[in-house]
Each structure stands twice: as C-alpha cells, then as structure tokens.
Amino acid sequence: IVAAGTGEFEAGISKNGQTREHALLAFTLGVKQLIVGVNKMDSTEPPYSEARFEEIKKEVSSYIKKIGYNPAAVAFVPISGWHGDNMLEPSDKMPWFKGWSIERKEGKADGKCLIEALDAILPPTRPTEKPLRLPLQDVYKIGGIGTVPVGRV
C-alpha cells in the first residue's frame, strides 16, 4: 500500500523510505507476486487525480524493476480505504481508471478493483513430494537416547 497524499508518497519512496524498504523486504523474503494499492486517492490534489496516480505508478514501477520485479506482472490499483473506493467494486469517482492488467508466464489477468487483484494471486506450488521440513523450536540432548529436535508442524 502506497499513500498518494502530497508529501506522504515522497517520504515513502525517498532513499530510506518505508515503501522502498517494504518492497525490498518482500523481494528478499521470496514474495513472487505483488499488488500495489495506491491509497488515499481522496486526499490528492485535486481529489482522485489521474496525474498523481500515474506519477506514483511510474516511480514505483521504476523502483520495483531495480529490485527484481517485473512491473508488467504487478497490478496497480488506485483506492481510497476511507471511502471504500475501488476496494470491492469499481468507483464512479475515478472514471479515468479503466482497470489493471497483468501479464505473467501463467497467463494474463485483469480487473477493476483491489479484491479482483487479490483473487488473481496464484497460490504457490508446494513441494509435497519432498521430505517434511519444520521450524525447530528447541534441541534436547537426552542421555541414552541422543539428540531430540523439537518443532511444530
């Protein structure tokens, strides 16, 4: 989620900004699919500004491309959480927004609001045929038995 308010977006995308940090962390932690919600569109100047949305889309696309994401596979959705615009259904306050469209090797997807972008996320494939892995909580060394790893499935 990127704030569209004047000054808020600039603070987030600046050199040590939270927007940059979150995008880098997501990529580093292995998040393969991304949706960018451009929030607070009601507080742009003028309200619900197409120019502001396009400016933010351009800047964020440029940055996520540097990190390693493909901007063509990222849905950018202008929203207003406060008013519920473009969250569950298309908003009449942003008639200029024709919808988002993404291209990925699994195929194309498109839609007009945030819930549709969330529904377009593909579930990751799980290596179910491989041996079980679990995070260890503790390791006990028990005399006569040996080392006992403890974790939760």
Give residue-wise pLDDT tens across range 31-79: 999 999 999 999 999 999 999 999 999 999 999 999 999 999 999 999 9
Contact between 120 and 111 (Cβ < 8 Å): yes
Contact between 140 and 147 (Cβ < 8 Å): yes
Instruction: Please give the pLDDT value at position 134.
Output: 87
Say how far apart CA 32 and CA 147 lie, in whole Å. Answer: 37
Contact between 50 and 97 (Cβ < 8 Å): yes
Task: Report pTM.
Answer: 0.82
Phi, psi of 28 (to 5 degrees): -65, -35
Q: What are the tens digits of pLDDT across the range 88-112?
A: 999 999 999 999 999 999 899 999 9
Say how far apart CA 42 and CA 137 lie, in whole Å. Answer: 46
Domain boundaries, given as residue ranges, for the chain: 2-126
Is the pLDDT at 132 greater than 90? The verdict is no
Instruction: Please give the pLDDT value at position 98.
Output: 95
Fold of the 2-126 domain: Rossmann fold (3.40.50)
The upper half-sphere exposure of residue 134, i.e. CA atoms within 13 Å in the direction of its Cβ, equals 10
